Structure formats: structure tokens, C-alpha cells
Amino acid sequence: MTLRTLFVMDPLDRINVAGDSTYMLMLEARRRGWPVWFTTPNDLFAKAGRCFARASRVEVERGPQPFRVEPAIELDLGDVDVVWMRKDPPFDMEYIFSTYLLELVPPSTQVFNRPSSLRDDNEKIITLRYPELIVPTLITRDIRRAVAFAQEAPDRIVMKPWDGNGGRGVLVSHKGDANLKSMFELLSADGKAAIIVQRYIPEIVLGDKRVILVDGEPIAGMLRVPQPGDHRGNMHAGAIVEPCALSDRDREICAAIAPHLKAAGHLFVGIDIIGGWLTEINVTSPTGIQEMNRLYGISLESIVTDAVATRFAALEPQS
């Protein structure tokens, strides 16, 4: 099976091939002999009710010249078999606009993850569907309500922007902090922007566990251990990656969210678990392929690409 594949992603000159997961998916597609194109969200456009892109075919390899790019052409996305939406956050209106265009792609082309579900399933807010899996959480613009939540918390609290990423804007405080109200004012832009306030999970010092799921099934996990003096388990914030086993609680969480992930068309997902509590369900551009490959000697990109091929095999008419 040969599947023509287009990656909607950040510009290639911004890609850090030493740690990028999209690069690994591109490498695997070329290893299988699949033609690969790339484009950026800015190069998507629509006409006559169909989605097009100004896209370039690209050869992908390991080494000092990872990408060899052909001149760009106008490509009807209905002329490829697979489209990967792999644009990194921020998840802003430009990102949302791209999902509108990608919904014009005909059903014969598979888009991962599904554009409508990327819009619907915000990575932090989607966890509210599963109150039994998360710590007490408040989302509000009301500074007085946020202060009251902190006053009722038995220990510290975490506050963060609802649309943040990479650990940006994550703060830890407590009800006795004289700066507490001021911190809420800053994060919420004086009540104009919604913020998330949660009970602090002390097990963060042991690591923030990233679990990769493919078509709803957990494949592997890793701990991202914060640097001393930091509370953020994000690799962007300098967290150190360590191997870990999946616990019974981890598998319970995965089993609880799997039906929605499958129904929503989320093929490749990374969830975050701290101390047995679900904190995020990352569906936009999950990372961790290269880190987990090194930790466990596996090929996550092959597992993900096998799942893509399986989807297409199921679509083929049976003789």
C-alpha cells in the first residue's frame, strides 16, 4: 500500500530534527516509499468548495540535509490519501481557521487528527469530561471566585491560562500568599480572560507522565521530571526525561478516555498524568516519539504509521 501523505506543519527551517515527532512520521512515510508533501497553515486555501494547499514535495532523510524540497505547486488535498495536521501551538484563531479549511477535504482523504475534533477538544478543558479522573478544578474569569477556591484548598494551588502550552504561565501559590490576588489579576488580564485553577499535585516532583496512545490504545509512557526549583514537567521548560512503567491507574485513565478518542478520530494522542490524576489530553501536535524510542528501543513512528495503514486497509472493498 502506497499512501500519498501531506503534512500541515510549521516551516521546515523551524524544525529541530533532533527531537521533533513530525520529522519522524515523515521519515517513516518515506521509508515505506510513500510520497510526502508539506505545507504550512498559511498556505491552505479553498476554492470551488475544496481545500487546496501551496505544497512542496519533500525528500526526508537523516543527516546534515534532512529535507530536500521541490518547488511548490497548487495541490488539491483530495489528491492525497493522508493529511496530518501537525502545526504546533498556539491554538489560536488562525489554527481554528485552518481546521475549517481542512473540513473541506473529501472523505477519501483521511485527516489526522480530525479537524472538527481538534476544535472541539481543547487539551486542558476536555479533561473536564472526566471529573473522576482529575483533581478539583475551577475555570473562571471571576477573580473573587478564584480567590475563594484557593482559600478552600487544603494545600497549594496551580493556576494557568486555559490556552497555554509548554508550561507557559503555570504558577503555584497558596491561600496565604500576599501576591495571590495580584497573580490572578495578571493571569486573567483583570478578569477579561479565563484561567484554570486546580489543586496542586505534590507528586509533580517525581515527574509529569506523558503517555502516548495510538487509536485509543496506550503504547508507552515517560516521566518528565522538573528541574530543581521548578514545578513544570515540560521538556520546553527543561524537564528531564526518564523511563517508567504504565500503572494500573494509568491504564484505567486510558480505558476511560479511549471511546471518545476513537469516536472523535484522534489517532495520535499524548496524555499527561501527575500522581495518578489526568491533567491534559494533547491532540493538536503530541510529542515524545524520539524520546520514547531512545528510552525503550521501539519505533513509535512505525506504530503510528501502521495504524494509518490499517485505517486504509479497512476502507478497501473486500473481494
Catalytic hit among 20, 280, 291, 301: 280
- Does 124 participate in catalysis according to the annotation? yes
Q: Residues near 271 by Cβ (< 8 Å), separated by ≥ 6?
A: 210, 211, 213, 253, 254, 257, 278, 280, 281, 282
Catalytic hit among 113, 121, 232, 250: 232
Catalytic hit among 87, 114, 209, 224: 224
Q: Residues near 292 by Cβ (< 8 Å), separated by ≥ 6?
A: 212, 219, 220, 222, 298, 300
Among candidates 237, 234, 153, 240, which has minimal Cα distance to 200? 153
* Contact criterion met (CB below 8 Å) for 195 and 260: no
Catalytic hit among 199, 210, 250, 301: 210
Catalytic hit among 20, 81, 163, 272: 272
Catalytic hit among 114, 282, 291, 301: 282
- Does 160 participate in catalysis according to the annotation? yes
- End-to-end alpha-carbon separation of the chain, Å? 16
Task: Compute how many other C-beta atoms are within 10 angstroms of the C-beta atom of residue 133.
Answer: 18
- Does 224 participate in catalysis according to the annotation? yes
Catalytic hit among 124, 199, 234, 250: 124
Residue 63: Cβ-neighbour burial (10 angstroms; 0-12, 13-18, 19+): exposed
Helices (H), the chain: 21-31, 93-102, 115-120, 143-152, 180-187, 248-263, 289-296, 300-315
- Does 282 participate in catalysis according to the annotation? yes
Among candidates 319, 264, 270, which has minimal Cα distance to 118? 264
Catalytic hit among 86, 87, 114, 160: 160
Catalytic residues: 124, 160, 210, 224, 232, 272, 280, 282
